Amino acid sequence: MEFKKLKLKKPDFKKLGIDLIFIILSCSISAVTIMGILIPDGLTTGGVTGISRIVQETFGVSFSIVYYAFALVILIICAILLGFKEAKKILVMSVIYPAVLFIFEHVEFSLLEEKDLFLAAIYCGVLLGISQGLVFTRGYSFGGTDTVAKIIQKKLIPHISISKILLVVDAVIIIGSGVLFSRNIALYALITQVIFSRTVDYVMYGFESKLVQLEIITSKHDEIVDYILRDIKRGVTNVKVSGAYKKIASEKIVTICSPRDSMMIKKFVSKTDSNAFVTVIHVGTVWGKGEGFADILQE
């Protein structure tokens, strides 16, 4: 009886090293922003950061400990309800980021020379957006309210898009902050949230659109299509193409998704087929049914 030798894929230490640099840089930027601007100036924002601020101010407990608790709870619930594949996307940041927060929490400092809430709100939006954008470009996620929105959609309201659920979740957090802090602080939090969302997009794709079209030519067609359909949950169109030089026929994968989704797809494609050919096209508007698409019936 012959046994085939299993070929184990060697880890790409160079890529892992670059990922680690991006993760540490991103976590540090975010931690410095929260501990050096957001908390000293009495501000808040949406997401898990906003929830942690509410708990911190209400019960007088450590911000980093509260954040760590929420991050681990979200990670566990994600693993149970969405599966380990989805949980792996947020595992690294759920462990490292709160640890970095804990370190910076024990260093007293303030980045602004004087208290200016409007300027602080802008700085928080820009710096937190840069931090999260850097993580997204490497295919990782902080595992905040976007994961909560995915859970709510899958288990409760599958007919509502994740972006709309996320908008409502963050709105509830900001409104709750307004009740605890003040209406002015809630408005500053809204400013931070808007700037944050825009900055994430700018870091990932510059001053371009919020949707992209990916065209992928690969020898691992079925594996990549299955990943996009099942994990990313985006539609796929197969287009028959042939090269002009070798006249080899193949099928091109076409999908429209968000910049963040495109980074996840890119990461999977690079692992599955390093010889794949991927074209990224920035899309202005898409009319139809799908997350981020405009309603074709809307006037």
Whether residues 155 and 256 share a domain: the answer is no
The verdict on 84 and 40 lying in the same domain is yes
Instruction: List the beta strands (DSSP E) in 189-276.
Output: 211-217, 237-242, 249-257
Predicted confidence band of residue 222 (pLDDT cuts 50, 70, 90): very high
Query: Encoding tokens for residue 130?
Result: 């840069």
On whether the pTM is more than 0.75, the answer is: no
What residue type is assigned to position 282 of the chain?
H
Contact 261, 200 (CB under 8 A): no
| Number of residues assigned to the chain | 299
With beta carbons less than 8 A apart as the criterion, state whether 195 and 126 touch: yes
pLDDT at 3: 45
In a domain, 1, yes or no: no
User: Domain range for residue 273?
Assistant: 211-283
- Return the pLDDT at 209: 57
Q: Where are the alpha helices (DSSP H) in 82-217?
A: 84-105, 117-137, 145-155, 162-180, 183-205
Per residue in 100-129, pLDDT tens?
A: 999 999 988 888 888 899 999 999 999 999
Any idea what the CATH number is for the domain that residue 277 is in? 3.30.70.120
- Structural domains counted in the chain: 2
According to DSSP, the residues that pair with 250 across neighbouring strands are 241
- Do residues 182 and 253 share a domain? no
* 41 has pLDDT over 80: yes
Question: Residues 219, 151: one domain?
Answer: no
